[in-house]
Structure 1
Amino acid sequence: MKRRDFFVKGALGVVATGLLPVIANAAPAIIDNATNDRLKDNWLQVAIGKKGIPSRKQTLNSDVVVIGAGMAGISAAISAARNGAKTILIQDRPVLGGNASSEMRVTVNGAPQERETGIVEEILIENWVYNKQESYPVWDHVLYNFVVREPNLELMLNTQAVDAVMDGTTIKSAICWGGTTETEFTINATQFIDCSGDGLLAAIAGAEYRTGREGKEEFGESYAPDQADGWVMGDCIMMVTKDMGRPMPFKAPAYVIPFDHETAFKDKHRRIKQVKEGFWWVEVASDFDIIVDREKNRHKLMAYFYGVWDYIKNSGDFPEADNIALDWIGSIPGRRESRRFMGDYILKQNDILEDSHFEDAIGFGGWSLDEHNPGGIENLEEPASYFHDRSKNVYEVPYGILYSKNIDNLSFAGRNASLTHIALSSTRIISTCSLMGQAVGTGAAICLNKGINPRELRNKHINELQEQLMRDDVFIPNRIAVDENDLAKKAKVIMGSSTVSGDCKLLVDGVSRDRTDEIHHWEANGVNAELQLEWEKPVEISKVELKGDTNVLRRMMMHKNPQKNIQNKQVLDVPPELIKTASVEARIKGQWIEVAQINENITRVIKTSFNQVKTTAIRVKLKETWGYKNAKLFEIRCYS
């Protein structure tokens, strides 16, 4: 079947059966690829004095292709590349970060009970090294630096996946359009990961998905509507203001929609608590197809926002706004919900509230069931959001919701995962999406290595995926690391120079953070502390890995309003508990030989690698933290 024919027939025919409600026009027609042949291009090549046709087609080959470079896509691409897969990351915008970028400025929130670690934490810490001024445009470049320096990873900005080449139920290639280079790219790969949110590539490939709200009866969800409908949570735009130190008048644009504040504030459904940053409840949704309504909704959002701001500035009810002026307003709406692709499992309301255990868990969430009013600001009679309920503890996120049930080599992560509408109201939070991304990226690399696809990985090799994720500092609730290759677990003696809290033997117990009533760390008395492992017989070691402390109970994200950081008692720097300087020594023929140095470390998981040595003992010298008085670790691992 030709690509063009598949695009028109396949995506419309495969998507819909049995899944209600769905978007009827799932895959709107695109320009035929033949137009890119440029046969009428009348280019005079001045340098050689001849006319010609510019070359605007390229073919690229990769192991893994990740579509969408929000925080989920970044995490997926980085983890795939770090685990040995040649990876291409495709982003349709000029900046990285998706909803978290300077274009939309959504805070990188996560589970309120305890913070996520892994790649998303690495990025947040690095931001405080390069961006203490809390600038969103600089944050964009922190993300850019984080991605482009990664070996094995190629980044393509201003590029959108617009078509798929299929071989039955397998994606062979993604056809992408470079908007700034006028180039059509054919990208061949073995594994594809759609983290784009709306999921155009996945939809074109024929992956089953649904949109809208399920009715109560389908999954026994008490917070679902009585009957299924097409509503999804809406888009919104944000703003940031600036205190000018003098009165700043405001005149609304011609397209403004006046704000009905009397209805909005009735029953405290909406409140204006501050005038420094945008109001998430300035939100517009659609009752059938929020994707096709994108531009119409963008215009309405701007009109509604300026109506709210006009009320704030000119009603006289907010004298604190007299000297305040708008400094930035989003022009691209941040999206909460559109397509949700179906996997081998669908995460539901009761999975979250009842702390369901999954044998294929790959991370956790913890945000409340925060279902926004589907009508948004156009439905002022109802609350802006229904904070239905919350799991007391963090809940498990299973791998079975992160790959397609009917497209063999397609994974996804973020808000387009296999979820009910009610479950999505919790899992859509950015740090939760990032954990999903790290899982599918790591999974794609394992699939590549074994010559399998995600379903077989889940059914036969899920332990390997979980062990690698935990090694890379993803916390999986109710899961203990039992890596058989970890030589630290086989040490006969583990001893520390001093102890004020915990026990150094806990560093190999397989749990890398404290739990509510359980300690899983070793904390020395002061710095210049030493940790030593002894083996009964010589072992060959080339890697020593540590997990330090970043205080996962303390928030770390950047806010649009710096005052929130003060309120949250955040540390606007590298976490002071983190190990900054250390060294690793091996005892070789009775002599201690330094094999690795750690300097200016800013990551919780510290991985050292050196020429393999045969030894009966390893000694780690913890010399300096970023400010905390004691050296503290949660884990040590050793590998040959």
Structure 2
Amino acid sequence: MMKTVAINSSLTVIGGGVSGVCAALSAARAGIQTILVHNRPVLGGNSSSEIRVWMRGATGAGNIFSEEMGVLGFLKMRNLYENPEFNVIFWDEILLDAVLGEKNIRLFLNTNVEQVVCGGGRICQVEGVQQASEIRYIFRSSYFIDATGDGMIGAEAGVPYRIGDLPYTPENQQKTAELLSCSILYFIKDSKKPVKFAAPQYAYDMDYVETLINKGGRIISEKQTGSDCWWFEYGGLCNTITEIQEIGLELKKLVLGVWNYIKNSGKYPEAETRTLEWIGSIPGKRESRRMMTEYELTMEDILKQRRFEDGAFYGGWYMDFHPAGGLNSEEESCVQIPVNVYTLPLRCLFSRSIPNLFFAGRNIGTRQEAFASARIMNTCALSGQAAAALAAECMKETCSPAELEEGQIEEIVQNLLREDMFIPGKRNADPLDLGQKASVSASSEYKLRAEPSDRTMRLTEESFVVVPFSREGAVKILLEAEADTKLEIELYEADLPNRLCPGARVSQQAVPVSKGENWAEISFSGMKPGKFGLIYIKENEILSLRLNRIRNPGILCGRKNSSDYKDPCVEWEDETLYAVSNLSDGYARPYGGVHIWCSQNEEKPWVLLEWERPVRFEEVRLYLDPDLSMEIPSSCAGRWDEKHKFTIRKGMPPQLVKGFSIEYYRDGSWMHFSTVKENYQRMAVVKRETAVEAEKVRITVEETWGDLRAQIYQVRIY
């Protein structure tokens, strides 16, 4: 007999994919009693071990210094530390452990919410049944976050929505919208001995499979595994909600038919020893409903990098279009248009029609062309953190999101920045941050150094160099030429560089280069200070770029079509590039400049914060360098196709601070505040139960993960 249990909380988050997890964690850390309801046995949605799509975002689409942090960054850095092989099984556990570790979260797995009860224009409660327990739960809250992906809560509550780019109405519900299809992936392994495969009778035969493959870039390989199989697509011409079972079965027919073709067609001899290690049973869904929110992000917003007063998070993945016909289509399997990092506003997260409901994930308010970029999981995760911050402010002010005033929106922005959300163009202006009010000094300041190594990068394809620009002048790069030639470059400027979408063009230059080793001078004339310069270098088979022995923060080079970045040997005179004053300039990561303090090579470098009068504080936050130009995936198969343009990390970033101590000065003596010995987070937070009073605070870096210098973006004190 079904038992009914009613549970009250301040906030209920429905959906335990990465957007829902980040929303719940963010709300719980803000002190909000939160319920997280998920209809599957594991958290993570498409990134979980049930579906196994790896998480990607702005950095994976060519944006430099753009890896997503915040609550997602906390999860990713823990994954990098505890799960360096990026095993998807352990990613499940990273998420579960983080949720169970928050005292303000109550988790309900295997619980499918199927009813939404409204009254007085608001949601009063949602109701769902937990599989196998025979319990019907009633969740009553002041506010709700719909992170279901399909926007089920919003749709049931009467919030208008789109299917494709059409507003859903009874009149057009029969029209076939063209959507992004669903996928089922498989993982393979080499058994080192012959393995037979007998296809199930329902799988498509080899003759039919042969009509589908090797067109539109759909090239079969016996080595493809994991997310290499993203193009196993179907369902874009179906209803991806009501017909999801049929879509899943059709995908199984297709996928097992493809594997049968690989194993038994005789065209892939290396497949003899390979076998399926895992195959998905749940389709990874790309698109269904999108809610018609207060503002819907457009393609023009993305391409023009529009800045919003209520900008709260960001995206940067390609506008990534797939044909609705999936494997049955004659079109290219995907068309990816690179974009620069762009901002999404809070207004994409709510509709005034239901004032106590927020949206997170792929169901937020975007037009379909913008959705092609904003749907990517890293961006969805950031939307969850932003939705929780919006809900927290509405709770504090006891108002609806549409009623928030300018100052309250700014408070949300500052709260997000404090929790390590990057919002393009926004800087720290938190009135509670004592670090902003201190004078800052350091044991030393690193000056950019050219230390040529014996390694080079041949310019056999289009390449680039990134340099931060703060004043008029010229940068020199060290080259090696096999004969007299010319270095042909195009100079671009951007707030954040993108190797595929370089920004605004400044100039075109041709620099003579003599045979042998040469310093080539590139003029930055015409560039605006406070920008990054991206130097595009045209292919030249007799030229090589000399690489540096040490990393200069904010300066890197690479090839246009590769994410494997290197350290160029450059000369650029800027005495303030790594100055300690960067710690309090308001930026906690690169944007229009490096914004980092870097010490010289020395034993135990330190920074000192001093106030004119004693201050009371209980918390110190350090914003560190995890190498924001390298992706940190949720999971990764044993191999991946080069088309992904993915470079895997090999251990913890050497420049990340590992161990540090904090002291405070009071009544003529230095006192111990805290010591951290095994930090692996980008944002290191140290908090004491009781506040202390101090005239000075000294932070000493005891150890990094490999670099001999200390590097810190920002210090906050509360």
Task: Name the structure 2 match of 1:521.
Answer: 596
* Cα separation, partners in 2 of 1:495 and 1:565, compared to 1, 3 Å: farther
How far apart are 1:153 and its partner, in Å? 0.9
Correspondence for 2:586: 510
1:629 Cα deviation after fit: 2.2
Q: Deviations over 1:417-437 (max 9, x none)?
A: 111111111111111101000
User: Secondary structure in 1 aligned to 2:230?
Assistant: coil
| Separation in structure 1 between the aligned mates of residue 423 and residue 684 of structure 2, nearest angstrom | 19
1:530-553 Cα distance to aligned partner (Å, 9 max, x none): 110111122222222110110100
Instruction: Measure, in 2, the Cα distance between the counterparts of 1:370 and 1:519.
Output: 29
Deviations 1:80-139 (A, max 9, x none): 010111001001000000000000000011112121011112111212333234332222
For 1:46, the equivalent position in structure 2 comes to none
Kept in 1: contact 2:352–2:401 (CA 8 A): no
Amino acid at match of 1:302: K
Quick check: 1:212–1:288 contact (8 Å CA) kept in 2?
Answer: no
Written as runs of structure 1 = structure 2, the 5 A alignment for 1:624-635 is 624-635=703-714
In the alignment, the residues of structure 2 paired with residue 618 and residue 428 of structure 1 have an alpha-carbon distance, to the nearest angstrom, of: 43
| 2:75 corresponds to | 123
Deviation at 1:572, TM superposition (A): 4.1
What residue is the counterpart of 1:375 in the other structure? 325
SS for the counterpart of 1:540 is strand
Instruction: Tell me the alpha carbon deviations over residues 220-262 of structure 1, each in whole angstroms, 9 at most, x when there is no partner.
Output: xxxxxxxx95121111100000100012222211011236565
Which among 575, 579, 585 is matched to residue 653 of structure 2?
A: 575
Alignment match of 1:553 (pick from 629, 645, 665): 629
Partner amino acid for 2:18?
M
Give 1:295's match in structure 2, choosing from 245, 262, 265: 245
What is the aligned-residue identity percentage?
35
Q: Are 1:609 and 2:666 matched, yes or no?
A: no
In the other structure, the counterpart of 2:274 is 324
Distance 2:405 2:218 in 1: 44
- Which residue in 2 is equivalent to 1:86? 33
Distance 1:230 1:284 in 2: 14
Structure 2 Cα separation of the partners of residues 632 and 482 of structure 1 = 22
CA distance in 2 between counterparts of 1:592 and 1:524 reads 22
When residues 267 and 499 of structure 1 are mapped into structure 2, their CA distance, relative to the original with a 3 A threshold, is: same
34, 38, 43: which one aligns with 1:96: 43
Residues 400, 458 of structure 1: 8 Å contact kept: no
Q: 1:451 aligns with which of 367, 390, 398?
A: 398
Conserved 8 A contact 1:84-1:445: no
Q: CA separation in 2, counterparts of 1:162 and 1:509?
A: 49
In the alignment, structure 1 residue 622 sits paired with structure 2 residue 698: no
CA distance in 2, matches of 1:318, 1:209: 46
Letter in 2 for 1:109: R
Deviation at 1:345, TM superposition (A): 0.3
Name which of 484, 495, 498 aligns with 2:441: 495
SS across alignment from 1:279: helix
Q: Does 1:272 align with 2:220?
A: yes
Whole-angstrom CA distance in 2 between matches of 1:427 and 1:213: 15
558 and 87 in structure 1: CA distance in 2 versus 1, 3 angstrom threshold: closer
Distance in 2 between residues matched to 1:303 and 1:564, nearest whole Å: 24
> Distance between the aligned counterparts of 1:512 and 1:438, measured in 2?
18
**Which residue of structure 2 lines up, in the alignment, with residue 194 of structure 1?**
146
- 1:69 corresponds to 2:16: yes
Correspondent of 1:590 among 647, 654, 668: 668
Among candidates 92, 114, 120, match of residue 168 of structure 1 = 120
C-alpha separation in 2, matches of 1:139 and 1:149: 15
User: Structure 2: how far apart are the matches of 1:431 and 1:455?
Assistant: 26
Paired residues of 1:85 and 1:445 also in contact (CA < 8 A): yes
Aligned to 2:107: 155
Work out whether residues 225 and 639 of structure 2, in 8 Å CA contact, stay in contact via their aligned partners in 1: no
CA distance in 1: counterparts of 2:419 and 2:363, whole angstroms: 24
Cα distance in 2 for residues equivalent to 1:104 and 1:304: 16
- Name whichever of 295-304 and 228-237 sits farther off: 228-237
CA drift at 1:460: 5.1
Find out whether 1:397 has 2:344 as its counterpart: yes
| Residues 357-368 of structure 1: pairs in structure 2 closer than 5 A | 357-368=307-318
Correspondences of 1:405-420 after superposition (within 5 Å): 405-420=352-367
SS in 2 for 1:621: strand
Residue in 2 aligned with 1:232?
179
More displaced stretch, 198-207 vs 557-566:
557-566
Distance in 2 separating the partners of 1:181 and 1:440? 31
- Structure 1 distance, partners of 2:214, 2:699, is 61
Deviations along 1:518-539, one digit per CA (max 9) or x if unpaired, are 1200011235111101111222
Amino acid at match of 1:523: C
In the alignment, which residue of structure 1 is the partner of 2:716?
A: 637
- Give 3-state SS (helix, strand or coil) of 2:692's partner: strand
Q: Distance in 2 between matches of 1:459 and 1:494?
A: 31
Distance 2:692 2:145 in 1: 39
Q: Is the 8 A contact 1:258 1:304 kept in 2?
A: no
Q: 1:289 & 1:565 partners in 2: Cα distance?
A: 31
Compared with structure 1, are the counterparts of its residues 150 and 574 closer, same or farther at alpha carbon in structure 2 (3 Å cutoff)? farther
**How far apart are residue 263 of structure 1 and its match?**
4.7
Unaligned runs of 5+ in 1: 1-37, 39-54, 216-227
Q: CA separation in 2, counterparts of 1:609 and 1:136?
A: 32
* In 2, Cα distance between equivalents of 1:90 and 1:565: 36
- What amino acid does structure 2 have at the position aligned with 1:494? V
Counterpart of 1:63 in 2: which secondary structure?
strand
State the secondary structure of the residue aligned to 1:555. Answer: coil
Contact map agreement 2:214 2:220 (CA 8 A) in 1: no
Structure 2 distance, partners of 1:455, 1:577, is 43
Match of 1:535 in 2: 611
Give the alignment partner of residue 678 of structure 2, picking from 593, 600, 609. 600
Alpha-carbon spacing, 1:204–1:363, altered in 2? closer, same or farther (3 Å): same
Distance 1:565 1:255 in 2: 29
- Of residues 85-94 and 257-266 in structure 1, the stretch that sits farther from structure 2 once superposed is 257-266
Deviations 1:24-73 (A, max 9, x none): xxxxxxxxxxxxxx4xxxxxxxxxxxxxxxx7111111011000010000
One-letter code of the match for 1:500?
Y
Confirm or deny that 1:308 pairs with 2:386: no
Once the two structures are superposed, residues 278-309 of structure 1 have per-residue CA deviations (whole angstroms, 9 ceiling, x without a partner) of: 51111111435221101011100000111111
CA distance in 1, matches of 2:286, 2:148: 12
Following superposition, the deviation at residue 565 of structure 1 comes to 11
Task: Find the aligned partners of 1:405 and 1:209 in 2 and give their Cα distance.
Answer: 13
Distance in structure 1 (CA, Å) of the matches to 2:303 and 2:205:
39
In structure 1, C-alpha distance between the alignment counterparts of 2:716 and 2:271, rounded to whole Å: 55
Asked whether the 8 Å contact 1:540–1:615 carries over to 2, the reply is yes
CA contact (8 A) 1:125 1:573 kept: no
Cα distance in 2 for residues equivalent to 1:477 and 1:581: 30
| Distance apart, 1:199 and its partner CA | 2.1
CA distance, structure 2, for counterparts of residue 266 and residue 124 of structure 1? 36
Counting strand residues as a fraction of each chain, which structure ranks higher?
2
TM-score, with normalisation over the residues of structure 2?
A: 0.76
Match of 1:385 in 2: 334
- 1:360–1:458 CA contact under 8 A, matched in 2: no
**Residue pair 1:363, 1:398 contacting (<8 A) in 2 also:** yes
TM-score by length of 1: 0.85
Q: How far apart are the structure 1 equivalents of 2:149 and 2:243?
A: 16
> Post-superposition shift, 1:463?
0.6
CA contact (8 A) 1:559 1:565 kept: no
Give the Cα separation in 2 of the matches to 1:109 and 1:167: 39
Q: SS of the counterpart of 2:414?
A: helix
SS state at 1:634 partner: strand
Aligned residue number for residue 105 of structure 1: 52
**8 A contact 1:175–1:186 mirrored in 2:** yes
Paired residue secondary structure (1:414) = coil
